[in-house]
Amino acid sequence: AEKKGRVEFRDVTFKYPGAEAPVLSNISFTAEPGKTLAIIGSTGAGKTTLVSLLPRLYDVASGEVLLDGVPVTEMDSSEITSRVSAVPQKPYLFSGTIEHNLRFGKPDATDEELWEALETAQAKGFVEEKSSGLNRRIAQGGTNVSGGQRQRLSIARALVTKPNVYLFDDSFSALDVATDARLRKALKGKTKDATVIIVAQRVSTIADADEILVLDNGRIVDRGTHDELLETSPTYQEIVES
Ligand code: GTP
Ligand code: MG
* Chunked mean pLDDT (size 10), the chain, 242 residues: 92 95 97 97 96 94 97 94 94 92 93 97 94 92 88 96 96 88 93 96 88 97 98 94 87
What is the spatial distance between Cα 39 and Cα 198, in angstroms, rounded to a whole number?
Answer: 6
What is the spatial distance between Cα 61 and Cα 118, in angstroms, rounded to a whole number?
Answer: 38
- Quote the ipTM score: 0.99
Question: Are the CB atoms for 161 and 86 separated by under 8 Å?
Answer: no
Q: Is the dihedral of CA 192, 168, 137, 83 positive or negative?
A: negative
Q: Strands 62-67 and 70-71, how do they pair?
A: antiparallel
Question: Are the CB atoms for 175 and 148 separated by under 8 Å?
Answer: yes
Does the Cβ of 48 fall within 6 Å of ligand 1? yes
pLDDT at 98: 96
Does the Cβ of 90 fall within 6 Å of ligand 1? no
Total Cβ atoms within 10 A of residue 115: 18
Could you identify the atom of ligand 1 that is nearest to the CA of residue 215?
7
What is the spatial distance between Cα 47 and Cα 74, in angstroms, rounded to a whole number?
Answer: 24
Q: Where are the domains of the chain?
A: 7-90+163-241
Question: Are the CB atoms for 157 and 102 separated by under 8 Å?
Answer: yes
Q: Is 161 helix (H, G, I), strand (E, B) or coil?
A: coil
CATH of 7-90+163-241, one of 3.30.200.20, 3.30.565.10, 3.40.50.300, 3.20.20.150: 3.40.50.300
What is the spatial distance between Cα 213 and Cα 204, in angstroms, rounded to a whole number?
Answer: 15
**In testing the pocket of ligand 1, which one of 13, 14, 15, 23 has its CB within 8 Å of the most ligand atoms?**
23
Does the Cβ of 89 fall within 6 Å of ligand 1? yes
Does the Cβ of 234 fall within 6 Å of ligand 1? no
Q: Which residues pair with 31 in a beta bridge?
A: 7
Q: Whose CA is nearest to atom 14 of ligand 1?
A: 46
pLDDT at 19: 92
Does the Cβ of 23 fall within 6 Å of ligand 1? yes
pLDDT at 142: 82
